[in-house]
Structures are given as structure tokens and as C-alpha cells.
């Protein structure tokens, strides 16, 4: 009887151990979920992103200005520094960040001469291999950075006056063009 109880205890303990283990606890991939980009009625899933520190624009009264390029893209697109390869969807934004070499958390508004605020200086999107492309002319994005993870919400308008919305939640591949 004692043998049967010990064996039963080991079986239950093994089952609990196997159920509590997960093979994705240490997943370091750039894979994200529920990330999308939508222009009018066309919607694309976003699968990755790249952030390039392009230029240190200086410091005024302790506030740093950095030129950053942000590209969010669908599956099928690969970005190596500033070179885009493959076919799929991508959105590109040139941003002025108030943090040296980093994309700071906060709201980035489209336009020029807004003083000491984060801003978007230019933007475009393209379905590489498809027919959709355009310029972004107004709107804003919101960036929330937690560790290496970025949560980015897009609320933009293109040159035709169409709404552009989107959401990205995941890591960004980082390239430093200033110090390399």
C-alpha cells in the first residue's frame, strides 16, 4: 500500500510539473500579437519594427533632440538598417525625439515648428508588391516604452484625407547610425 501511495504521489507531482512548464517563457523573438495598420478599408497585420538613431540634433537647456526613423512592417518584409527587402506592407515615420538616441515615451504630432515637443517630420506607407501607397500629412502617434517593449498607437491622415489607424506592441530592432 505504501508503494502505491508513493507512486500515486509521484504521478500527481509529475502532472503538476508538466502542466506548469511552458516552452515559451524565454521567447526573445520580435513576434507580436494584435498589431495592425489600417488605411481606409485595407488592413494589414504588423509583424515587426525597426528603429534607427539617425542624428543627434543637439541640446538646448538640457533637452536633447534626436532624429529617429521608425518602420513598422508586415510579414514578408525584412529591414536591415535602412534597406528594405521583400514584399509586404510597411509604414515609415521620421521622428524628432526628446531623448538622446532613444524613442521617448509620449505623443508625437505631425508638423513643423512645434517648439519643445516630440514630433513627426515626415511619413509614408507602401504595400511593396501591391498597389497601396501614400504620404502621411497629419495626425499623431503615442509611444509607451516599457523596458525593451514598445506600445505604439497610430492616429494619422494621408494626403487623400483618409484615416490611418494602427497599433503595434512588441520589440523594435535598433540600429545606431550616429555612433557606428
Closest by CA to 37, choosing from 46, 24, 49, 29, is 46
pTM check: above 0.85: no
In eight-state DSSP terms, residue 100 is T
Cα gap 76→37, rounded to integer Å? 15
Torsions phi, psi for 73 (to 5 deg): -145, 160
Domain residue spans of the chain: 32-176
Condensed to tens digits (0 to 9), the pLDDT of residues 24-82 reads: 444 444 444 689 999 988 899 999 999 998 887 877 777 778 889 999 999 998 887 66
Amino acid at each position: 500500500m505504501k508503494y502505491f501511495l508513493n507512486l500515486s504521489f509521484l504521478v500527481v507531482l509529475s502532472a503538476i510539473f508538466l502542466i506548469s512548464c511552458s516552452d515559451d517563457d524565454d521567447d526573445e523573438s520580435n513576434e507580436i500579437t494584435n498589431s495592425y495598420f489600417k488605411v481606409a478599408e485595407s488592413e494589414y497585420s504588423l509583424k515587426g519594427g525597426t528603429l534607427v538613431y539617425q542624428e543627434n540634433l543637439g541640446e538646448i537647456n538640457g533637452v536633447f533632440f534626436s532624429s529617429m526613423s521608425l518602420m513598422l512592417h508586415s510579414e514578408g518584409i525584412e529591414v536591415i538598417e535602412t534597406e528594405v527587402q521583400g514584399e509586404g506592407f510597411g509604414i515609415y515615420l521620421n521622428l524628432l525625439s526628446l531623448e538622446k538616441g532613444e524613442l521617448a515615451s509620449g505623443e508625437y504630432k505631425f508638423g513643423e515648428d512645434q517648439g519643445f515637443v516630440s514630433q513627426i517630420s515626415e511619413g509614408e506607407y507602401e504595400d511593396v508588391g501591391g498597389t497601396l501607397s501614400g504620404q502621411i500629412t497629419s495626425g499623431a502617434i503615442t509611444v509607451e516604452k516599457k523596458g525593451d517593449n514598445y506600445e505604439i498607437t497610430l492616429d494619422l491622415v494621408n494626403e487623400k484625407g483618409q484615416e490611418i489607424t494602427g497599433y503595434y506592441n512588441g520589440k523594435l530592432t535598433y540600429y545606431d547610425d550616429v555612433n557606428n
